[in-house]
């Protein structure tokens, strides 16, 4: 468990570089919503969750599901950083024959707990996982990362209703609230606001934070463990494309890979040397 913010920041920076290089190598992918979630996954895997890459099927492990499966670059980069597989695989992202498909495949990638991509289904699966853990009297926790565009799906609210009905206080959802989706701003595509009041009305405990602040993320995840009788959602206000100035707050980077020049600029901005492949 890492508690030094500088150590977490260093890890997050490496993950950001790997997201850029992987999507560049593929010539496709979703860098914007991957970069917005870096601090969240860094804290989950290097501070909070009880997981062991040497024993990925430990029955008592904590479980993380990337419900917004198109953001697979942040999950793959984090799993590689944690040691689930070699970083040398990251440049094979989306290549024919690679285990690192555009959306996570639990049958192929060590550390992936649920194959996701169809929005809302990963979150729904977490309800079943949390309920099963409750019935088995396990002490582990289930974590899900949702996109703000994802909560436009009706299946999300059916799952949210079930989670509160069954009092799944071993479940923590995190909403990557960067305000943008593939077609533009949430408010213009399908307004999701007011998100806090919506989740509260479905019986959830709600915590609002800055999703790039390590201290706030850690405090929120710790606080979620103390909540009894209801699930918790952390609404994390983030910036799409965080860490790369020309990507920040630009919806176009939802699903577009950087070209050679953009990749070099991004890696340089992140403090590294680009390896153009």
Joined tokens for residue 174: 């995190």
User: What's the pLDDT at 276?
Assistant: 40
pLDDT in tens, 47-105: 999 999 999 999 999 999 999 999 999 999 999 999 999 999 999 999 999 999 999 99
Binned at pLDDT 50, 70 and 90, residue 4 comes out as confident
- 121 is written with which tokens? 């289904």
Half-sphere exposure of 25 (CA within 13 A, CB side): 22
**pLDDT classification of 272: cutoffs 50, 70, 90:** confident
Percent of the chain with pLDDT over 70: 97
The pLDDT confidence band at residue 273, using thresholds 50, 70 and 90, is low
Quick: pLDDT tens for 173-190.
Answer: 999 999 999 999 999 999
275 pLDDT above the threshold of 90: no
Is the pLDDT score of 29 beyond 70? Answer: yes
Q: What is the pLDDT of residue 46?
A: 97
Question: Residue 250's closest CA among 180, 162, 164?
Answer: 180
Query: Which residue carries 């040497």 as its tokens?
Result: 54
Mean pLDDT value of segment 208-212: 98
Measured in degrees and rounded to the nearest 5, phi and psi for residue 106 equal -70, -20
Residues, the chain: 277
Task: Report the distance separating Cα 151 and Cα 176, nearest Å.
Answer: 10
C-alpha 30, offset from chain centre: 12
Mean pLDDT in residue range 207-233:
98
Question: Is there a contact between 180 and 240 (Cβ–Cβ < 8 Å)?
Answer: yes
Average pLDDT over residues 241-258: 97
CA pseudo-torsion sign 90, 100, 146, 30: positive
The arrangement of strands across the sheet holding 232-237 comes to: 63-66, 142-147, 171-177, 232-237, 205-210
Q: What is the mean pLDDT of the chain?
A: 96
CA gap 266, 276 in Å, rounded: 12
Query: What does the angle CA 50 – CA 149 – CA 265 come to, to the nearest 5 degrees?
Result: 80
Cβ(155)–Cβ(13) under 8 Å? Answer: no
d(CA 248, CA 44): 23
User: Using N-to-C axis directions, what is the helix angle for 154-165 and 121-135, rounded to 10°?
Assistant: 10
Q: Retrieve residue 119's tokens.
A: 């929005």
Q: Is residue 146 within a helix (H) or strand (E), and if so which, with residue range? A: strand 142-147
Two tokens, residue 241: 């494309």
Say yes or no to pLDDT of 277 above 90: no
How far is it, in rounded angstroms, from Cα 212 to Cα 72?
A: 19
21, 53, 100, 265 from 25: Cα distances, Å: 6, 25, 12, 15
Each domain of the chain, given as residue ranges in start order, spans: 5-269
Stretch 114-125: mean pLDDT: 97
Q: Which CATH class is domain 5-269?
A: alpha beta
Alpha helices (H) along the chain:
5-26, 32-35, 38-43, 72-82, 121-135, 154-165, 186-190, 195-201, 214-224, 260-269
Residue 178 confidence (pLDDT)? 98
Q: What is the DSSP string of 73-87?
A: HHHHHHHHHHTSS-G
141-154 pLDDT, tens digit per residue, is 999 999 999 999 99
Give the tokens for residue 277: 């492949």
Is the model's pLDDT at 28 over the cut of 50? yes
* CA–CA dist 164, 169 (Å, integer): 8
Q: What number is the average pLDDT over the span 214-222? A: 98
């Amino acid at each position: 468990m890492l508690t030094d913010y500088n150590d977490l920041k260093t890890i997050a920076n490496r993950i950001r570089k790997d997201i850029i290089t992987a999507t560049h190598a593929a010539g496709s992918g979703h860098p914007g919503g991957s970069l917005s979630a870096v601090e969240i996954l860094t804290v989950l895997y290097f501070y909070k969750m009880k997981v062991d890459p040497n024993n990925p099927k430990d029955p008592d492990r904590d479980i993380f599901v990337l419900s917004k499966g198109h953001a697979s670059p942040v999950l793959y980069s984090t799993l590689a950083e944690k040691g689930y597989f070699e970083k040398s695989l990251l440049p094979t992202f989306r290549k024919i024959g690679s285990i690192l498909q555009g959306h996570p495949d639990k049958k192929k990638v060590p550390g992936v707990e649920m194959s996701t991509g169809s929005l809302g289904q990963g979150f729904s699966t977490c309800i079943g996982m949390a309920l099963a853990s409750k019935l088995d009297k396990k002490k582990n926790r289930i974590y899900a990362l949702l996109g703000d565009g994802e909560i436009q799906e009706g299946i999300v609210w059916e799952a949210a209703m079930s989670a509160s009905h069954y009092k799944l206080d071993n479940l923590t959802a995190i909403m990557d609230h960067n305000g943008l989706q593939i077609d533009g701003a949430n408010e213009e595509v399908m307004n999701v606001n007011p998100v806090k009041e919506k989740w509260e009305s479905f019986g959830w405990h709600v915590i609002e934070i800055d999703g790039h602040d390590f201290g706030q993320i850690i405090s929120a995840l710790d606080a979620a463990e103390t909540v009894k009788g209801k699930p918790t959602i952390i609404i994390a206000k983030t910036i799409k494309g965080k860490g790369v100035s020309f990507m920040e707050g630009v919806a176009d980077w939802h699903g577009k890979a950087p070209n050679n020049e953009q990749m070099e600029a991004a890696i340089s901005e992140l403090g590294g040397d680009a390896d153009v492949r």
